[in-house]
Structure 1
Amino acid sequence: MMNITNCSFVFVLLNALILAYSKPESYSFLLTCGSSLDGEDSDGRQWKPDDKFLTLSNNSISIKSQFQDPSLPSSVPYMSTRIFTSESTYSFPVSPSTRHWLRLHFYPSPYPEFDPTNALFSVVAGGVTVLNNFSASITAKALTQAYIVREFSLSPSPDKILNITIVPSWNNNISFAFVNGIELITMPDLFKEPAPLVGFSDQSIDAQSSALQTMFRLNVGGQYIGATNDSGWSRTWYDDSPYLFGAAFGVTSETNKSDEIQYPNDKAKNFAPIDVYSTARSMGPDSKLNQNFNLTWVFEVDANFTYLVRLHFCELYQTRINQRVFNIFINNQTAQEAGDVIAWTGSKNVPVYKDFAVYVYDKPGEEELWVALHPSVDSKPEVYDAILNGLEIFKLNDSKRNLAGPNPMPSQMLIEAELKTKAGSKSSTLKREGNALGIAAAFGFVAAVCFVAYRRKKREPGEGGRTLSANWLPLYGSSHSNKTASYNSKSYGSSTLSSLAGGFCRHFSLSEIKRGTKNFNESHVIGIGGFGKVYKGVVDGTTKVAIKRSNPSSEQGVAEFRTEIEMLSKLRHRHLVSLIGFCKESDEMILVYDYMARGTLREHLYDKNLKSFLSWKQRLEICIGAAKGLHYLHTGAKYTIIHRDVKTTNILVDENWVAKVSDFGLSKTGPDLNQNHVSTVVKGSFGYLDPEYFRRQQLTEKSDVYSFGVVLFEVLCGRPALNPSLPKEQVSLADWARHCCKKANVEDIIDPHIKGSINQEGLKKFVEVAEKCVSDHGLERPPMSDVLWNLEFALQVQESLDGEVGLVVGHENSDGNKPSNARSKNGSRMDIECDGESCKLRINSSSQDLEEKDSSDVVFSQFINPQGR
């Protein structure tokens, strides 16, 4: 064995010397692992045996797969396998300073004496950990795929030998690893230009020196593109439709056959094949409709990594600048304003791509990457539309030279289906020596069940464990085809409500509810609302919940109960209260929610039993959280949702002071695609009610904006929205606040408990946006995205100037602008210049980094945190 290994190593070194002197422009190694014969795959590519490249392998075994799944693209390289029982290394002669595609192929089929479910292993390639404690079996099961391909782009190295080391991990007292195929292919340098870091206008990410994993590669608006049709680089491009969010599919288009895609130069041909640029997805011909939604794609990714998002564009129909102009948003942050493909390329049918980098933080429900396009209304283009031809997402290695993420978690539905299948089949068909057709039937049934489960759960962020890990193979099925359930308001029961909930929330029995509240003991009452009393309760022995029980005499009844279930059961967001379940039994109507330990926002502003007051920073953070929840309802949910009852008692706070919007009993879905409002009977709470909605009975999302503006003034002033005990002109907080803004004496109405602690620039921005929110006319009110943007600015100014520096407010300049000058703790000077529309931060001679702020929640931020990652 040692002789063979030594000979192999000499062979590799000899190849390296030949390659070093010949310096070929491109080369490729395609290894069918465990095979002793050459093979050809379905794309006509030639694969070679792997044994000559094994330089360190104390113990490896070649095994043939016993069953060929019908979904395999070919028998090569999947029907032969190399099993490792100890650390082993492949060595490849490579040209220095050249990037490489590395593709690893895994087919976790039963093998004689080796159960792939026990195989856990790590892979280190070129010094980068690309897989860690990886289970091909768990991954294939969770993704309902027979085989797994992982693709990586390895950064250039001065070494002439590239090592790929496979290290088995211990699992169930067994240690082994396996691989079916390895591809190592030279690639063009696709990552030369730095990518701007979204949310940080002065920072960019240089991917040239990084290793990357291909997470998603999509032919937007087009069909699957195989390896042989990809400019010679063997990439695979998939359909984008499974990743589209909501019902807004847009329209697909294709270039005229008489037109030809014209690459600006030969190197540009490497970035994507002609087929990608020949098709596109746009928003459609209805400009009025397009202004009311985003064209959005959603991807599940691994947290705590930076991602390079590459968008491919090619204008197929427009020919002049400012005909089609759009904004690009990534994870609710502005990546590109006023994007115009013709302005970038100078002509139609000319491809171009744009790179952006974004960091994804480890927070529940936020392990997703959103890409959204929206017409640039401010640019006043000829058509309000957006276009995209291709999309790629790459994960960059972290500071520890690691690319590996966790194994995905198979859904409970899939596990249960698999157990039932095994129990219902003959035991001989599921054993290792059993009938291969029985295994195929079982796998097919499990895949079908998981397909249904995936269609129902894919778009629900934060729902349970990670059901879909980061991968770049297609995940078929989506929830966009599910329509809002119809029902008869005169006859409904638990089964109908369960159908409305779509299986996303639980049906409790009345006995469970009574047990959890000690038979609705009054000592458990934590609130009383329009629907009825709210109790603190316990379900499943230890889980704390809030239980809202209807009052038979309440004006809010069956319709609100049904609406709450229908709305909240299908919404999952960090800043929306989660509906756990409901009970409809006898005459009881009961809703069960997550327990919010710190109660309502109102309780912390001016409740008579208030013992301590929220700081200005805490108030801003709560307002930002609530704004994010409302922004999600207006633009991020499957349909536009108008809350219709935004107020401080419907903004709850959990034990970590995270704000969550609650009470969706009055919410409405809409407007329709052909309208810009919903005509409806006026409902809401006086003091927060949109006057335009009250007058015209036409509901839009700007009605929520008005109510939220009242909340902002309530937070600033520490008083109720309505106070009849005050003089007539002061009874309505919205009217009084507007009056004070016009008279420039807002200082007089600020809550005395926070008056001396508010940074003036942040206060100015806060008051400006609050005043706009409570404008009489909806058209004058900002969208929630702008509200959120300005609140984030106010918070970051407050943190950076009050928390890190001593503020010195300067005098007005001759042009009327008012700069604020401050010095950080380390003596660096920080200048902020505001002109009422935007503010810029300038930092001079910083010698010490400011304390890093968790910016995972930054949305549409104008203020840039100076801390680099």
Structure 2
Amino acid sequence: MAWLPANAPTPHTLVFSAPSPAIEMAMTGLLALLVAAGAAVAADAKPYSPTDSILLNCGSTADGLDADGRKWLADTNNNMWLGDSGKSSLMAAADELDSSLPSTIPYMTARVFTVDTVYNFTVNPKDRHWLRLHFYPSSYNGIAPEDFRFSVSTSTGLTLLRNFSVWVTTKALTQAYIVREFSLPRTPAGFIAVTFTPTPTPMTNVTYAYINGLELISMPDIFEDPATMVGFADQTVDIAASSFQTMYRFNIGGGYIPPSNDSGLARSWFDDTPYVFGVMQGVSYTAGPRFHVKYPTEASEYAAPVEVYLGTRSMGSDPRVNQNYNLTWTMEVDGNFTYVVRLHFCELLLNRPNQRAFDIYINNKTAQSDADVIEMTSERGVPVYKDFAVHMADDPGDEVMWVAMHPSVALRPQFYDAILNGLEVFKLNDSAANLAAPDPVPSKMLAEAELSESEKERSKKSKDQANMATVIGGTAGGAAAVGIVAAICLVVYHNKKNRELTGSDSHNSGWLPMYHSTTSGKSSGHLAANLAGMCRHFSIAEIKTATKNFSESLVIGVGGFGKVYRGVVDGDTKVAIKRSNPSSEQGALEFQTEIEMLSKLRHRHLVSLIGFCEESNEMVLVYDYMEHGTLREHLYNKGSNPPLSWRHRLDICIGAARGLHYLHTGAKYTIIHRDVKTTNILVDENWVAKVSDFGLSKSGSSTVNQAHVSTMVKGSFGYLDPEYFRRQQLTDKSDVYSFGVVLFEVLMARPALSPQLPRDQVSLADYALSCQRKGTLPDVVDPTIKDQIAPECLIKFAETAEKCLADQGLERPSMGDVLWNLEFAMQLQDAFDGASGRRQAQDDGSGSGRPVLEPSNSYGSTASVTTIGTSSTSRAHDACVVIEEEDDDITNRAAFSQLVQPTGR
């Protein structure tokens, strides 16, 4: 077990035998204390008021608020910050909006530099300062993202970035944007200058630099005490005099804490789950709403927000198990730097010394033996943190930092357990006043190198691959230097999953920043054995025959996974074939997720997955062909697709709601779609709506006491639930919010985001709610359907959409309620239209044969018949009768994934 500290107890085979009566009673007491902790959270710590707080929206002409409500100033204000008043720089707007961006501000505008340019700031000389640099790789004024390469330094001679490429770094991490956070020591001169220096690219020799957002914020004295050097108890490292870069900041055992919730310091705290090593990940718990956190000093209030200390991760309740494993976190770092590891503790359950004591190890060395939080603090609910310093060598294999905890055996505590509430890792500047590290190498480059190796002579192959492993080990460490962004947790989570899929025991290979599960960028057949029993396994020959060898003439769309082709299998069965793109942001994890998830779902309103192909370095998914494409196509592309009538739109919304309602209630566990939007609602040849794209779906909690899933935020900007974004806690109400945006999109026939519109109209959700509350919504309804909607139907439909967009998930209706309200809206429309509307084919018993529509709030297995007539304003087609069999066992086929989407996520 190489991952255990050298001087830690060596684990043996785990024996799960029944504990003794004494131990059982002790553990029962601990569980009782856990329950009691909920009855006993503190008022928030006093917010810090920074002396300096400058947030610049670079390249913008107007101030604005980000998604957290923080105000960003245009860097053109009085030209007070740019050394040359902006004369030598360009103001540019990003050419594309990536749906993964958390906010358009500050990422959609940039300041572009062609020569050395300086931002000057007058600051309080008594304060340290946070400096955060925000970058979004995009084309600016026609300049390609790969043409930007630059260095960043400060007036104190500190190098922050050197020969840095945002494009390369984000490609390596498959991320949409990055944030670099630095902490600068006091400057007696009361002046900080940040210089951007363009550096020539190797091929074109052009020189461009840029910045989207820049933050400079005062910070309190939370780094005054020196850190103990691990392995050298008599040596310390002076943090106060150092500059450093934040590498990781975790809310251990808890969810994401946004900058707006960090007591004035504007830090982001992330979920630690993706970084917990091994199968044994312990358990996490949170104190109840009345637990009181008592900060020992005023300065300590700013070490971490209250929320960090109210949650913790422990090893679990079985003392025998706990004595045979380490609770461990692993993190990639850059070699040849010294790091400070800050561990945050707060005892939430126990109140006496030696009830819980543990040893702390960092990189296989003892950082502290017999740590006892109560001994450190004297009482329960008092936060404390410990700083340890460790030097990381520049040797291959030393680019991963290990933090591990193990119960103290020597002290024989009452409970063999260990806890941790928060974890931060900071990289200190070296002796040359440098914090910069090389850019990580994207997996595509690694793949090309690997391919080249495979073509060499067999006798040289082993040696060359060994050299390649050395290169990979060195570059993987550089990936962690991308700073702290919310999405980085997702990258590592994907990499961990890919390790599990490949069955690899190699730690380094699993931490590579990869698009897919192998360094070639493509899956290599390891999934087929696991997935073959779930649905049909096509050969690559069958796929090539169906698509005429992937003919471009058969391409019907491009999504985040890759191109989608129209094809024919088994002689006459039309299918849609989605082929993975090596440079796609989606890969083996989404491939397996979609197959595993959808093979368990059966419903008329989910597009069916027919099968898959995974061979010859290809990953392909095969679905039923949807004749009429996406709902979005019939709302905007009015040149080729005449706009749908109101009745058609409402009927499609009802079908989509039925599909989502089944996901939330019809499966063994709640399935949360997580990417509901009009491009993921498809219509077949009979205009029946079907929900698609399950690559991001999550299984919800199966317990009564946990109504959410803690997860990194994914989805499409404009449809994203703001509560999910703020708290990183996914619930089925997140789908309800997204569906509310869809309802207004159907009604108003405009995109969820329209950056070219006035500011108050950019977000469809905000604009629609504003119109609804002002009573002006009828004025902005799509003109092509405005005269078709019954007034009462419009009122009911708009009220339903409005409730879906409630800021708090608890205030939103369930999808079952949404479905009932939409069916009732259809009944109101029927009453308005008379005998020509959509009706349930059921005689009312009067002998007239008149159909009656009866919305149901429950999801049964009844059958209904829908008559869709020809509309003068929609595409002409024959009237048809669709029998809606609401039975879970209709078919053993499942759903479909974003066949037509202009861009990936």
Aligning the two structures, in what range does the TM-score lie when normalised by the shorter sequence?
0.3 to 0.5
Query: Which structure would you say has the larger RCO, counting Cα contacts within 8 Å and 6 or more residues apart?
Result: 2
| TM, length-normalised to structure 1 | 0.47
